[in-house]
């Protein structure tokens, strides 16, 4: 009997430790701290002996370096300092070299200072970076390359970063540039060396990855077996809970996706939506023009006329002479107008008399749509908008699906999800955790939770009024007619 009680107690403790939300939140926080400590440890990599690139200390002047701009100078002292004065068109000093054989990691370190560096654009300022190229000379986009970024005033500070190399990388470009309308960038003690990860840290990374998988499996199990208080579970609430779990998993996968695929997919979707809008606008203009001239075509004919009238067939690639989505050259507009006139005159029914010709001319002038101006926001603005919008929707859905749970617990779980996504991006080479993304997620969580609270409160108020109106007329108690009976005055 005692053993049975002990076994039941152990099982209860195990269920509590593995299913209580506060315990799961604490486990998530511990994993975040352990992952950050493993990936950001200074002793994670060891530097291999030997020099990868010669003359990085400028002992031989600018030998082996290429430059643009006149305001680039080297100090005469020891150590020699490189000073680049900022220009509106970036002044730079660069060194191109082949990839060292058998090298997968390069450690780039330097002491950098800035003096009154700035500019209106995000890319302006002072930058030290290591760019990589494949055998065809194409830049490996979205691959980590920045070592130091300086804006404003900065005293001498040491920057160090270990950058991975892609398998297809054949050549590397070490570049330092300064862009803006004033100030200068200083660099000294520049080094590039081969590096290797210590075996213990590699094992720790894989062990932490396994713990992350186990934790997320347990969280999924807890969410799927969750039942709100009450005898039944409404079908709508069950569907919203399933949608909340699916969207949370989708955000995790999106956070771990390769940056080129995610970025290109979003841009392609944005431009495709604008293409659909422009095609619909042109089709509507053709329909209106045909209606005004009493020449109403069928839908298929209107669509074919639209395709002939626009040479690029609704594609943004031919919007300008250089393939720019905002191209509005006069030759392209004139050519499209000639094609529109020819298409309209070829598909319209013949009319006799000057009145019919005047109607066709008026219809052609009205059907010409305005030039296509594509809207493409800057990537940093689009990125933050994504973070805010996705977590607003997730917090709204979670607030409606789990409205019977505590508010602070829901907010804490969503914040832990955002922090976990940013931490797990350390496992993806093309992604980097960013505190600004975490801040945008938190803003979206607060906004979505607020909207959900307002909707839930309004729904409860409406339900309460409906229930009060459905009471029987002779109901006793404070909700019945006795409630409105006037009391006799007391003397």
* 96 cis-preceded (ω within 30 degrees of 0): no
N residues, the chain: 491
C-alpha dist (Å) from residue 119 to 94, 127, 151? 22, 13, 8
Q: Residue 15, SS3?
A: helix
Sequence-distant (6+) residues with CB within 8 A of 90 are: 68, 69, 177, 178, 179
Q: Residue 103, SS3?
A: coil
- Say how many C-beta atoms besides its own lie within 10 A of residue 213's C-beta: 10
- Would strands 91-98 and 171-179 be described as parallel, antiparallel, or unpaired? antiparallel
Question: Can you read off the two tokens belonging to residue 69?
Answer: 């701009």
> Using CA atoms, how far apart are residues 324 and 317, in angstroms rounded to an integer?
7
Task: State the pTM of this model.
Answer: 0.69
> Using CA atoms, how far apart are residues 243 and 400, in angstroms rounded to an integer?
11
Question: Can you read off the two tokens belonging to residue 52?
Answer: 């990868």
Sequence-distant (6+) residues with CB within 8 A of 2 are: none
> Using CA atoms, how far apart are residues 422 and 440, in angstroms rounded to an integer?
12
Domain boundary assignment for the chain = 66-197, 261-367, 379-468
Question: What DSSP string runs through 24-67?
Answer: HHHHHHHHHHHHHHHHT-TTSEEEPSS-SSS-SS-TTTTTT-EE
Q: What per-residue confidence (pLDDT) applies to 226?
A: 58
- Say how many C-beta atoms besides its own lie within 10 A of residue 306's C-beta: 22
C-alpha dist (Å) from residue 417 to 72, 227, 256, 391, 410? 47, 21, 13, 10, 11
Question: Can you read off the two tokens belonging to residue 275?
Answer: 């293409």
Best CA proximity match to 177, nearest among 65, 75, 86, 114: 86
Given 3.60.120.10, 3.30.530.20, 3.40.50.1480, 2.60.120.260, which CATH number is that of 66-197?
A: 2.60.120.260
Give pLDDT tens digits along the chain (491 positions).
Answer: 555 555 555 455 444 444 578 888 999 999 999 999 999 988 899 998 878 888 888 888 888 899 887 778 888 777 789 999 998 888 899 999 999 988 999 999 999 999 999 877 777 899 999 999 999 999 988 888 999 999 999 999 999 999 999 989 999 999 999 998 889 999 999 999 999 999 999 999 999 999 999 999 988 887 777 555 544 456 677 888 888 999 999 999 988 888 766 667 777 888 888 889 888 888 888 888 877 765 544 444 444 444 333 333 344 443 333 333 333 343 333 333 333 333 333 333 334 444 555 555 555 555 555 677 777 666 666 778 888 999 999 999 999 888 877 888 899 999 999 999 999 999 988 888 889 899 999 999 999 999 999 998 888 888 888 877 665 555 445 554 554 444 555 54
C-alpha dist (Å) from residue 290 to 311, 339, 363, 365? 20, 17, 7, 12
Best CA proximity match to 196, nearest among 128, 100, 295: 100
Helix (H), strand (E) at residue 94: strand 91-98
> Using CA atoms, how far apart are residues 453 and 465, in angstroms rounded to an integer?
18
Residue found under tokens 């997320």: 216
């Amino acid at each position: 009997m005692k053993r049975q009680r002990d076994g039941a107690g152990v099982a209860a403790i195990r269920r509590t430790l593995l299913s209580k939300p506060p315990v799961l939140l604490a486990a998530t926080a511990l994993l975040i701290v352990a992952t950050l400590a493993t990936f950001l440890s200074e002793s994670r990599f060891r530097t291999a002996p030997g020099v990868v690139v010669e003359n990085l200390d400028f002992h031989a002047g600018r030998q082996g370096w290429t430059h643009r701009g006149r305001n680039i100078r080297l100090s005469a002292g020891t150590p020699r300092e490189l000073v680049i004065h900022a220009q509106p068109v970036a002044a730079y000093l660069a060194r191109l070299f082949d990839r060292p054989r058998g090298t997968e990691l390069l450690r780039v370190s330097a002491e950098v200072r800035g003096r009154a560096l700035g500019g209106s654009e995000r890319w302006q300022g002072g930058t030290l970076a290591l760019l990589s190229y494949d055998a065809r000379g194409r830049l490996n986009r979205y691959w980590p390359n920045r070592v130091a970024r300086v804006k404003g005033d900065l005293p001498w500070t040491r920057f160090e970063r270990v950058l991975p190399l892609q398998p297809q990388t054949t050549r590397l470009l070490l570049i330092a540039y300064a862009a803006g309308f004033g100030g200068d960038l200083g660099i000294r003690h520049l080094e590039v060396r081969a590096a290797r990860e210590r075996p213990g840290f590699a094992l720790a990374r894989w062990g932490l990855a396994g713990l992350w998988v186990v934790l997320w499996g347990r969280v999924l199990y807890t969410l799927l077996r969750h039942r709100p208080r009450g005898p039944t579970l409404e079908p709508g609430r069950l569907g919203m809970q399933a949608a909340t779990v699916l969207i949370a998993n989708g955000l995790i996968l999106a956070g771990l996706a390769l940056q080129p695929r995610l970025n290109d997919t979003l841009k392609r979707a944005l431009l495709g939506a604008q293409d659909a809008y422009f095609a619909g606008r042109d089709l509507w203009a053709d329909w209106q023009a045909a209606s005004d001239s009493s020449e109403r075509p069928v839908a298929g004919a209107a669509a074919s006329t639209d395709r002939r009238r626009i040479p690029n067939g609704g594609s943004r690639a031919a919007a300008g002479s250089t393939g720019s989505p905002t191209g509005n050259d006069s030759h392209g507009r004139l050519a499209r107008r000639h094609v529109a006139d020819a298409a309209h005159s070829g598909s319209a029914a013949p009319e006799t008399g000057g009145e019919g010709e005047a109607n066709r001319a008026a219809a052609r002038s009205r059907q010409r749509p305005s030039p296509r101006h594509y809207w493409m926001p800057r990537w940093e603005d689009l990125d933050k908008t994504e973070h805010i919008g996705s977590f607003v929707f997730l917090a709204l859905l979670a607030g409606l699906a789990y409205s019977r749970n505590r508010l602070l617990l829901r907010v804490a779980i969503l914040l832990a999800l955002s922090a976990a996504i940013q931490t797990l991006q350390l496992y993806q080479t093309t992604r980097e955790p960013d505190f600004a993304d975490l801040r945008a997620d938190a803003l979206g969580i607060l906004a979505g939770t607020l909207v959900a609270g307002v909707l839930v409160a309004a729904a409860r108020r409406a339900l309460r009024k409906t229930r009060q109106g459905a009471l029987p007329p002779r109901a006793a108690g404070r909700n019945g007619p006795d409630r409105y009976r006037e009391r006799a005055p007391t003397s």
